[in-house]
Each structure stands twice: as structure tokens, then as C-alpha cells.
Amino acid sequence: MKNESVQIVNSLFKNPLSFLKLDTPQVYKNMTVIPIIVQDDKFIDFISIKEAEELELIEILETDTVGQLEVVNKSDKQILIPFGMTVHGGKQDRTIWEPILLPVGGKQNIINQNPGTLKQKYTVPAKCVEQSRWSYTKGRGFKTSNTRLHPNVAYEAISAAGQGGVWSEIQSHRAEMNYALAVAPTQSYLEITKESEKETEDFVKSFKKVENQCGIAVFINGEFIGIEFYANPEAWNTMSNDILKAFSIEALRFKDKPQHKVTEYHEELIKILGRMKFNFSSREGVALGNIVEFNTDDNKWRGITLVHKNTLAQFYLVSKRGGYQEQSRSNIQFQTVINQRYQI
């Protein structure tokens, strides 16, 4: 099944239109969005973690390890926890660094305090996005935030390693946006990105949803920078504003750069995807399906997806542009002591 999952992902690059329908491009300032509609036979029935949280069908819990959280599925529905979702609370804000599809039922039945009540619990991989805090401020539990990782931070998060890279990219973003050190003293990514919230909301309001939309392909200054889509339009509808905000941060990063002329965005996207050559790896997911990670030899592009029942539950691909560079890691001044809590 692992090799089959890789073949499914690779086939998307060879023939994108066998998976996706591309709607009319929409433009705001230096950002162009192509709405994506997934083919009907690629649909998966699930709800997003945000919807599950609103319905009180899921809990997110602290563990003794920074790199792990626990989620308790209290529902009779499949729940998708997407890659790049951030949660706030606990001892540090975290991000989930691979997509997870929780099944109806689960591997572990945990007896609740109320006799006869069952909960479904899974351990999920997480990375810290708040470097300088290690104490509880608002209780031990977590809540999802409205902040998703923007492409450069997401690029660093798509890896079993990379905690140091995530921190470094967050620091790099602070520097390139000229945010004062008084902003987010705990180096919280969620707090740092609040500084651009008004501008990013303007972007979000300018892009209109289309019927059965499941994702977007994004161009900044006429250059393709990433794509994200789901096998469920309701999940996209729940999370779309957060995703658009994340990509609009990239537009703000490059708002003063030259524009590249594109005459036909659909043709450009299909051409770019078709000529990409990736190295693939796959493994079993935390719950349902298989995780497939992929990157180009020049390390410009990196992606991750969850394949379940021959369908891409969540697909994410981004490019690395500027920001933190691996060779300059020795020059990064971390704000906390890095010890055995972190697997770097």
C-alpha cells in the first residue's frame, strides 16, 4: 500500500486534471489564487478538527514530551487534523506536522471518569512554535487557533526533524518584517503573525469561495508558490480563511519584489507541476491511511499528503523562498536552553 500511495501522489503531478478541476483565477494585489474543485470520485467523508472542536467532539491534551500531543476523539465521525494546524495552550503553542485522519472508533479505548463512557485517544506528532515559554498560562489543554503556518515555516515543519529549523524560520520572519522584540516576547508564532492580521484579512476578504471548492493553488508576483486542497469541500469551507491568511503572509513578504507576467495561470500551473521531479518517502499514518512526503533535489519544493482509500485527504506543497537558511544556523541566537526536551 505504501508504494501504491506514492504512485497515487506521483500521478497527480503527471496529470493534475485527473484529480482537480481549476476554476477562474482571482487576483488581489500581488497574490493570485486558482480555486480548486476535487473530482467527485475523490471525496472522503470527514469533519475537520475545527468543526469537531466546536461540537465538543475532540480534546487536545498535553504530554510530557514537546514533540507529542494526545487527541481524544469522542465522536462517531472521522476527523481530519491537517498538517500545519496550530494549537495554543499547554506549556507551549504547537503545530501538528503531519495530516491525521482519525477513524470512527480507535486503537485505544480509554475509560472516562464517567462509568461506561468511552473515549478514543491517539498520540500525534507536534512541533513547538513558541520557543521561550515552558509553563502553563491557561490550563493544560489546547485549542485550535486561526493561524496556519505560512509557506516558509511550513516547509521547515515537513520533516521528522527540523524543530530548530521551525524556530529559526519564525525568527527570520520577525526580522524580515521588522517586528520589534517587544512583540511576542515568548517568540510565539501566533503572536508574531497577529502583527499582520489586518493586512492578511484584507487579502482573505478579496477572494471569493466557489461552489464545491476544496482548495487553492497560489501565485505570488506571478510565481507559483504552493497548493493545498482537501478531499472534502466542507472541511475546506471551515479552514479556508486560515489557509488564505497563511498564504497572504507570503504575499506581504514579497510585496516589493518584481512581478512576473503570466498569460494563462491554468496552463502555467499544469506545466510547472508536470515538470517537477520528486524524491518520495512513505510511512503508515498515525491513524488511517499513509503519509507520503516528497521534495525536489534542489530542496526548493517540499510537500506532504495523507492517502486514504486511494484518495488524497489533504495535499500540501510549498516552495522555500528566502528566510532562514540551513548553513546560517550557527548565527541564530535561541532564546531558551535547548535540552533533552527537544528532538532536533
Q: What is the pLDDT of residue 136?
A: 54
On whether the CB atoms of residues 21 and 36 are closer than 8 A, the answer is yes
Instruction: Identify the segments of the chain with pLDDT beneath 70.
Output: 1-2, 105-120, 133-141, 160-161, 326-344
> For 253-312, what is each residue's pLDDT tens digit?
999 999 999 999 999 999 999 999 999 999 999 999 999 999 999 889 999 999 999 999
Q: What is the pLDDT of residue 326?
A: 58
d(CA 41, CA 271): 24
Percentages of the chain per state (helix, strand, coil), in multiples of 5:
30, 30, 40
Q: Any idea what DSSP says for residue 272?
A: H
pTM listed for this prediction: 0.89
User: Of the candidates 76, 90, 102, which has an alpha carbon nearest to the alpha carbon of residue 190?
Assistant: 90
Share of residues in the chain with pLDDT > 90 (%): 62
> For 72-112, what is each residue's pLDDT tens digit?
888 888 999 999 999 988 778 899 999 999 998 644 444 34
Q: What is the pLDDT of residue 119?
A: 59
Q: What is the pLDDT of residue 230?
A: 96
Write the single-letter amino acid at 155: Y
d(CA 85, CA 153): 12
Is residue 90 left, alpha or beta, with left meaning phi > 0 and alpha meaning psi from -120 to 50? left
Side-chain-side CA neighbours of 302 within 13 Å: the count stands at 17
